[in-house]
Structure 1
């Protein structure tokens, strides 16, 4: 962050966190909407940290998209209130619940309304990209878990997000776009269980954050923004970043695999076999470009076993990622049984 304006940045971060907490602690559609708007007002100035023209353009696009989805959300909430005379009522009107669902999917950047996300993220600093792909999804996902209808629509959006995020990332050379499309794919996995068991969605979301924190920090500090930079010589321990990338891909026995396994077991128990196969197909496609990144890092074998200086901060997170089979698996059995 720009140290010259650090006090104001700290204020904006607090406003952003307060807005999300406002939405999470509410059971009232109007106050949830207010929390989302407060969060937006805190996040927009953070997108312009370096003051570049491309960042200003990205923040304007983000503002327009979020305002559009918020407008649909508050309009639909008002319509529901006019029918039921209550802000707390469950969504028993299919058309109204579909409109709220679409506005939340637009906020999240899920397929088929993901078109705005890559054009914004390609011009962002890595720290702001991390906030956008993790923290900014928390409140809309919570609101999505309150829906009590449109199960088939959410399942279709989950499949489309997983497949679209995987396919679109195949020909990308910008690492920020690859991470963005993979987050769309992971969003599909999070949404699979949002109506059945929201605690599993939270479990997947936390695991995604645990993997993303060290991965994005290492990429931003050592590797740069483009795939060809992966073959340049650095002082970074490549085996660590390869393990994080493969964990994001969902290879056993890493943490990302455990996240997917717990959802797959639940889907199979509910006898949603075709849905499970489609989700696995999306993961297999994404595995191709994750393995491509890992292979490019493995080419630098002469730097593979150097001990880096900046990895000490993330030792606990990386250890959890490596040892997840022994740590997380007992937790999985507790959840499923």
Structure 2
């Protein structure tokens, strides 16, 4: 399957899409597990899209890890059924809910079970890496929001993911590895609110996807896989890519800052000060790497800029990223405020 426009690729994408939809639309643990397996069977052939040996190795690692987590998940649900005679979310036993949570964290690549994600990320094409860092996280995140009986373990995973993802970014020279560790760090922010207010985690996830789409597309078309290539002459608009990188870092007034601010305000209101401090510390550590990438793009002389690249495809997403302070964030606040007022009106 050397041709990336191979006709069966559409079939595999549809299988992957339907698997995730099956997991999201079900409240039955066995059906959710079936959706995850269907999603895996659709994603594995896409990982071998260019037919290279490194991609085959990465897809084999991914298959083994996902099979391990799926096996742990189905075993835990069978034990839960034997204890409760129900396939639905009835977590009377803390050990069972912990096993289900660990299997889903392994699927997501969250710390401390993140060891497989970086070794696979650096061997993938950019588009497949984007799918693995975004779409593949959607179903496990929703499933974690159903396991609400072990908040302390979820918050511990959140802190570890944010800190380990940020610290491991510091040493990297491969841009794909930086994006992988950045995804682990952002996953920590999503996990911090997943059991308390899953809507905020979904908003954060959506904003992360909106920032990642144009950033990964521009990087895949203009830059190689290594950090020093950012200083080479290329055809990308540097100001746009700098704004996307800083948005991923969470600097105001960009979209990434707005999504982090919503979570920070919610955690402070719930008096979770230590969790807020750890999340903030992880963001400060990762900011060093993002600012380093931005500086490498900024220190080039003006004569090396070539702004003739066609970026009109991503301009709506880029505009959304730039104007979030004045348009998106006020809209989110208004919608959540009035929705809560209407729904919880006595």
- With the length of structure 2 as denominator, give the TM-score of the two structures: 0.95
| SS across alignment from 2:194 | coil
State the partner residue of 1:172.
172
State the partner residue of 2:15.
15
| 1:210 Cα deviation after fit | 0.4
Write the distance in 1 (CA, Å) between the matches of 2:134 and 2:96: 27
State the partner residue of 1:309.
309
Structure 1's unaligned 5+ residue stretches are none
| SS across alignment from 1:155 | helix
Q: How many residues align?
A: 337
Moved more, 299-308 or 32-41: 299-308
Write the distance in 2 (CA, Å) between the matches of 1:197 and 1:332: 15
State the partner residue of 1:197.
197
State the partner residue of 1:253.
253
1:62 has 2:53 as partner? no
Write the distance in 2 (CA, Å) between the matches of 1:212 and 1:314: 11
Structure 2's unaligned 5+ residue stretches are 341-346
State the partner residue of 2:90.
90
What are the Cα deviations for residues 190-233 of structure 1, in whole angstroms up to 9, with x where unaligned? 11110111111110001000000000011010011001100001
Moved more, 302-311 or 318-327: 302-311
1:34 has 2:31 as partner? no
| SS across alignment from 1:66 | helix
State the partner residue of 2:324.
324
CA-based RMSD: 1.4
| 1:22 Cα deviation after fit | 0.4
Q: Does structure 2 retain, via aligned residues, the 8 Å contact 1:236–1:303?
A: no
What are the Cα deviations for residues 12-64 of structure 1, in whole angstroms up to 9, with x where unaligned? 00000000000000000000000000000000000001111110010000000
1:80 has 2:80 as partner? yes
| 1:7 Cα deviation after fit | 1.1
Write the distance in 1 (CA, Å) between the matches of 2:298 and 2:219: 15
State the partner residue of 1:123.
123
> Judging changes above 3 Å, is the alpha-carbon distance between structure 1 residues 93 and 11 closer, same or farther for their aligned structure 2 residues?
same
Write the distance in 1 (CA, Å) between the matches of 2:210 and 2:304: 23
| SS across alignment from 2:161 | helix
Write the distance in 2 (CA, Å) between the matches of 1:153 and 1:89: 18
Q: Does structure 2 retain, via aligned residues, the 8 Å contact 1:19–1:39?
A: yes
Instruction: After the TM superposition, list the runs of 4 or more consecutive aligned residues in structure 1 that deviate by more than 6 angstroms.
Output: none
| 1:310 Cα deviation after fit | 1.9
| 1:6 Cα deviation after fit | 1.9
1:269 has 2:269 as partner? yes
What are the Cα deviations for residues 251-309 of structure 1, in whole angstroms up to 9, with x where unaligned? 00000000100000000000001110110000000000000000000012415864333
| 1:331 Cα deviation after fit | 2.9
Q: Does structure 1 retain, via aligned residues, the 8 Å contact 2:237–2:309?
A: no
